[in-house]
Structure 1
Amino acid sequence: MTGTTPLDKLATALATLGPIGHFPKAPGTWGSLAAVVAAPWLFLPLALPARLLVLAAVLIVGTWACSRAEIVLGRKDPGCVIIDELFGQWLALLFFAAMPIWYLLAGFILFRLFDILKPWPVNWAETAFPGGLGVMLDDGVAGLYALASLHLLVYLVGLF
């Protein structure tokens, strides 16, 4: 990042969630795992309106950071950019105030599954919107799929 401004460095640090995006293997999985581990302390204890505000802030800041990081790093949706995983993973957990560990694990697996497989419209969202917004929204759609699937799973388990 030689020749970058302090604002570029800040954007890249936010986009990569600091050092996590620079892990050598599977940075997206590490980013999702970090989001799940942090959620019981930083996200789930908040009231629903506050969680919605946090998600809106992550979307806005993440869109800016991803857009800047793409320019600084010279690549579209670089693998080290993982703030979108935080957004999608927390979206998958949105309506749960407290969760047993297996809910967190299931939410993590479901989100990763939809983020990796990219069923429609996940793949569409990535290309339909420019720059950082597309980067953030494809994980947002994957997060919505995981949210619906997690609620269905919890409902079905509750039947037995």
Structure 2
Amino acid sequence: MTRPIASLFGVGFLRPAPGTWGSLVALVPGAALLAFAGPLAVLAGAGLIGLIGWWAVATELARSDEPDPDWIVIDEAAGQWLALAGLAGFGWAGVAAAFALFRLFDIAKPGPVGWADRQPGARGVMLDDLVAGALAALVLLLLGLVSPPSLFP
């Protein structure tokens, strides 16, 4: 039961770059939720995905010899939704920026993202993406303060 959840219902088995596929697949329902319910709903959704993901990842890691199997991408979904929560409203430029910033922080692992990634077990697998999503959300919030409202509503 936890393998489909951890792999985001098989998306984690797509190649190349399963993490990017996971983020991209999560972007569609996240953006729709943002458009219809707003950023607080996306934030709540990110929390729910994070909790369910933590459970699924912990269960799968107990069965694996790998510390962070690349097919586990539920963490990307939680992080991507957290990044989307940094937008005050729906706009394609903002959604694209949320995707790009989240992937940049998740791949480059600057500062706190790298620290989170080095944590053991499910904590490290999930936390680095949540921190990357939070950093992306922070950048989007700052961009929303200084950019024209049409770009980052």
Q: Structure 2 matches for 1:4-153, cutoff 5 A?
A: 10-42=1-33, 44-46=35-37, 50-96=41-87, 98-128=89-119, 130-153=120-143
Secondary structure in structure 2 of the residue aligned to 1:78:
coil
- Once the two structures are TM-superposed, the CA of residue 139 in structure 1 deviates from its matched residue by 0.5
Letter in 2 for 1:28: G
When Rg is computed on C-alpha atoms for both structures, the one with the higher figure is: 1
Query: Residue 23 and residue 114 in structure 1: after superposition, are their counterparts in 2 closer, same or farther (change >3 A)?
Result: same
Secondary structure in structure 2 of the residue aligned to 1:80:
coil
CA distance in 2, matches of 1:33, 1:47: 19
Letter in 1 for 2:116: A
- Once the two structures are TM-superposed, the CA of residue 59 in structure 1 deviates from its matched residue by 1.6
CA distance in 2, matches of 1:41, 1:156: 25
Unaligned 5+ runs, structure 2: none
Post-superposition CA distance 1:6-30 (Å, at most 9, x none): xxxx111101101210002000001
Unaligned 5+ runs, structure 1: 1-9
Post-superposition CA distance 1:30-51 (Å, at most 9, x none): 1111111121334553355544
Query: Residue 31 and residue 101 in structure 1: after superposition, are their counterparts in 2 closer, same or farther (change >3 A)?
Result: same
The alignment covers a number of residue pairs equal to 149
User: What's the TM-score once normalised by structure 2's chain length?
Assistant: 0.86
CA distance in 2, matches of 1:47, 1:147: 14
* Structure 1 runs of 4+ with >4 Å offset: 47-50
Letter in 1 for 2:37: L
> Where does residue 154 of structure 1 map in the other structure?
144
User: What's the TM-score once normalised by structure 1's chain length?
Assistant: 0.83
Query: Residue 149 and residue 81 in structure 1: after superposition, are their counterparts in 2 closer, same or farther (change >3 A)?
Result: same
- Once the two structures are TM-superposed, the CA of residue 56 in structure 1 deviates from its matched residue by 2.4
Contact 2:87 2:141 (C-alpha < 8 Å) held by counterparts:
no
Q: Which deviates more from structure 2 when the two are superposed, residues 136-145 or residues 148-157? A: 148-157
